[in-house]
Amino acid sequence: MSADLELVTLEEAARRTGKTPHNIRDYIQRQRINKYNRQGEQIQRAKSGELRVSLRELRAFLGHVQQATSKHQLDGLHDELGFHSVPEHQRTKHVHRLHPYLGKFIPQLVEWFLARFFSPESRILDPFMGSGTTLVQANELHLHALGIDISPFNCLIAKVKTDQYDLIKARAEILDIERRVAALNTAQHATLPLFPEDDPAQTAQSLLAACTSDYLKAWFAPRALAEMLYYRALIPQYTYQDLLKVILSRAARSARLVSHYDLATPKAPLPVGEQYWCQKHKRYCTPIDNCLEKIHAYSEDTARRLAAFARVRSEKAVVVLQGDSRTLDIRAALTGTPFADQRFDGVFTSPPYVGQIDYHDQHTYAYELFGFPRQDALEIGAKRAGKSKRAQEAYVEGIAAVLRNVLRVLKPDAKLFIVANDRFNLYSQIATAANLQIVQRFERAVTKRTGRGDDPYQETIFEMQQAAAT
């Protein structure tokens, strides 16, 4: 078996294929190729010096990528905008991985456009801010940035990513709250100030008894839920409360009673302790029963990511507004911010696609935990609204209304870059309805990073300008 696979070390694989060991690790992480031990058995974790990859698998994968790339070049796709060779750690650099978010764009795409079409000190607006990728990258490039999103939780993520921190204090708070939650399972619990009962089991019971969310009770094992509720109860005692909320949400997402391979869109919770065949780990697994190990995993990681962003963060203004970008009075909402009475030089944004994602639903656990007001009904292009002709018409109206609204705060010659998968050919109509002209289109291939398939799909970046200004 090993002979067929042609097992080699990462370094050897890199040398034989003209890649770097980093690239090879990235393919493993994205599950494009498997991990083996020296005996040719597939493994999850390798002991030191044991990890092997299959040259055959690697060559097959690279051949497939090459074919896809050539096809895309023939289709007129932009060479530089595929970002195929950007490794996972750069795609998720610093704060971009503070919390998972389905539908975010790759930071390198934002960088590419902002660096070419704007200069430091420019003011950039993203009316579909999502998790704040545009804001983070604009800040790194010394541009000022404003983001607007309908979802309060997305606004929280974006704000936490772009806030400035006293890093020593932030780290101390992150680790302190983790220590206190860990103590919920030990005798030290008696010393915790918030819950004076001397019996940890009693504290856990009273937290669980006070929980009124059916969702939380169904999707978490009792121990996991007690830890989450305890963490949540402690948050008001700290300075960086939003940051702690994001860490807890991230941990909660991974602590749901779901299979390991289905974290992004699980349909229903699994029974506590029930074994299932895990497509990710290729063995029987049981759903997680606690949240603490996830809190632990993400606490240190978050502190490290904040520190990494602090090294490249500029002092430029970043403002996050929660609201419906069709109707929000942006000018009024900016009163008292660094953008009061200012006009913006451009837009860089990726609107929702038609009927693809329910943006609130993907973070239901966070809405249930923190009680943020849900605004699902105001989402443009929501999945639940479908892709019918009627849904497409509503989409055109919605996106055009957003563009018309943001034009009120843009300079007359502002450039708008809109990243869209225009499979229904709606963007010409949208441009007309917003009195904009499409100046240029950049076609790019997107390789799905999280899915199991390697099928790239196509995205267009529309450059638009006000019709009168061109």
Ligand X SMILES: C[S@@+](CC[C@H](N)C(=O)[O-])C[C@H]1O[C@@H](n2cnc3c(N)ncnc32)[C@H](O)[C@@H]1O
CA distance 103 to 45: 29
Nearest to 33 by CA among 49, 144, 17, 47: 17
Side chain identity at residue 384, one-letter code: R
Q: Is 130 in the site for ligand X (CB under 6 A)?
A: yes
Q: Is 362 in the site for ligand X (CB under 6 A)?
A: no
Q: Is 133 in the site for ligand X (CB under 6 A)?
A: yes
Q: For ligand X, which residue of 57, 140, 173, 324 counts as binding (CB under 6 A)?
A: 324
Question: Is 267 strand, coil or helix?
Answer: coil
- DSSP symbol at 354: T
- DSSP symbol at 394: H
Q: Is 150 in the site for ligand X (CB under 6 A)?
A: yes
Task: Candidates 56-64, 77-85, 143-151, 266-274: pick the segment binding ligand X (CB under 6 A).
Answer: 143-151
Phi, psi of 263 (to 5 degrees): -75, -25
Q: What number of chain residues touch ligand X (CB under 6 A)?
A: 23
Q: For ligand X, which residue of 30, 93, 104, 189 counts as binding (CB under 6 A)?
A: 104
Q: For ligand X, which residue of 21, 87, 103, 222 counts as binding (CB under 6 A)?
A: 103
Q: Is 346 in the site for ligand X (CB under 6 A)?
A: no
Task: Candidates 142-150, 167-175, 194-202, 242-250: pick the segment binding ligand X (CB under 6 A).
Answer: 142-150
Q: How far is the CB of 328 from ligand X (least distance, A)?
A: 8
Q: Is 367 in the site for ligand X (CB under 6 A)?
A: no
CA distance 325 to 403: 8
Which of 130, 456 has the CB closer to ligand X? 130
Q: Is 378 in the site for ligand X (CB under 6 A)?
A: yes
Task: Candidates 39-47, 76-84, 221-229, 324-332: pick the segment binding ligand X (CB under 6 A).
Answer: 324-332
- Tell which phi-psi region holds residue 41, choosing left (phi > 0), alpha (psi between -120 and 50) or beta: beta
Q: For ligand X, which residue of 83, 105, 298, 462 counts as binding (CB under 6 A)?
A: 105
Q: Is 27 in the site for ligand X (CB under 6 A)?
A: no
Q: For ligand X, which residue of 161, 180, 313, 326 counts as binding (CB under 6 A)?
A: 326
Q: Is 350 in the site for ligand X (CB under 6 A)?
A: yes
Q: Is 223 in the site for ligand X (CB under 6 A)?
A: no
Structure tokens at 386: 């479908």
Q: How far is the CB of 73 from ligand X (least distance, A)?
A: 26
- DSSP symbol at 434: T
CA distance 203 to 225: 12
DSSP codes of every residue in 20-56: -HHHHHHHHHTTSS--B-TTS-B-SSPPTTT-BEEHH
Q: Which helix (H) or strand (E) holds 146?
A: strand 144-149
Q: For ligand X, which residue of 101, 240, 298, 417 counts as binding (CB under 6 A)?
A: 101
Contacts of 61 (CB under 8 A, 6+ apart): 27, 32, 33, 454
Q: For ligand X, which residue of 54, 137, 139, 151 counts as binding (CB under 6 A)?
A: 151
Phi, psi of 149 (to 5 degrees): -150, 150
Kindly state the greatest CA–CA separation across the chain.
Answer: 72
Q: Is 400 in the site for ligand X (CB under 6 A)?
A: no
Task: Candidates 28-36, 224-232, 322-330, 430-438: pick the segment binding ligand X (CB under 6 A).
Answer: 322-330
Between the alpha carbon of residue 225 and those of residues 201, 262, 323, the distances in Å are 13, 20, 31
Footprint of ligand X (CB under 6 A): 101, 103-105, 128, 130-131, 133, 148-151, 154, 324-326, 350-352, 359, 378-380
